[in-house]
Amino acid sequence: MMAQVRRPDRGTLAGITVLVVLALGCALTYQHFASRLPDLNYQTLAATGEEGRMARDGLALAGFGESDGYDYVHTFTQVVAMKFLSDHEIAAFRQGQPSAARAKVAETPRGRVVAVVVKMASPQAARDAAAALDRLQVDAGMRRAPAPPGVHRVEIGGASPDGRVHYAHGQLLVRVDLAAAPGVPLGPAFTQVIGSQLEELSADA
């Protein structure tokens, strides 16, 4: 006599069907949400500290004053599009393979502040770029001024006094520029601006 093949009862089939549907649903849900997860390298998160600070991702800028609306800047390409860097400065940045970035332009009682922080390929790349950018400022006629360890500071006087600093913080390269307001002594004003930024990102000595 041939052995009878036992067929699964309806309850078993129903249970298997439910498990398959649940597994498929979980897979589709994960795929949907995974495709929408932001790249933390470029993510802008709500400020948790001083106004204007970009939290968690490390690309932090001080709250210099009322921003002119550059919160959309997430990449170095967008920094270039702001058109405040010279071609030589852009090339110096690109030597370090820049990627994520943040920018702020603010009108303050001390003057107009333009600040950027850019993620470079490595800490060494950030340090090298900061030094190269400093040399470009000196070549353009600016003079070096006393600064904290690791900070490259240059200034120029005359009818349009201006100060710039470049420094590295790990893989991050920071640049801050102050065009002093009329009647405002550049040196003390710029020292205060630099101090505000160093509270957010210290300089590698």
- Kindly report which listed range (38-42, 84-88, 100-104, 140-144) carries the lowest average pLDDT score: 38-42
Is residue 54 predicted with pLDDT exceeding 60?
no
pLDDT grade for 203, boundaries at 50, 70 and 90: very high
- The amino acid at residue 38 is P
Query: What range defines the domain where residue 31 resides?
Result: 9-38
**In the chain, % of residues over pLDDT 70:** 72
Q: What is the pLDDT of residue 25?
A: 54
CATH number assigned to the domain comprising residue 106: 3.40.1000.70
Query: What's the mean pLDDT in 92-102?
Result: 98
Residue 11 is predicted with a pLDDT of 57
27 and 81 fall within a common domain: no
Residues 95 and 170 in one domain: yes
Report how many domains make up the chain: 2
Q: Is residue 80 part of a domain?
A: yes
Is 49 a domain residue?
no
What is the chain's Cα-based Rg? 26
For residues 105 and 24, state if they share a domain: no
Task: Give every strand in the sheet of 172-180, ordered side by side.
Answer: 66-67, 101-108, 111-119, 172-180, 162-169, 151-156, 143-144
Whether residues 99 and 188 share a domain: the answer is yes
Is pLDDT at 126 greater than 70 in this prediction? yes
Are 15 and 74 within one domain? Answer: no
Residues 32 and 74 in one domain: no
| N residues, the chain | 205
Q: State the amino acid at position 139 in one-letter form.
A: D
Residues 24 and 78 in one domain: no
Q: Are residues 18 and 112 in the same domain?
A: no
Instruction: Examine the domain organization and report whether 73 and 168 are in the same domain.
Output: yes
Mean pLDDT across the stretch 93-97?
98
Torsion of CA 120, 144, 68, 181, to 10 degrees: 180
Average pLDDT, the chain: 83
58 phi/psi in degrees, rounded to 5: 90, -15
**pLDDT tens per residue, range 127-185:** 999 999 999 999 999 999 999 999 999 999 999 999 999 999 999 999 999 999 999 99
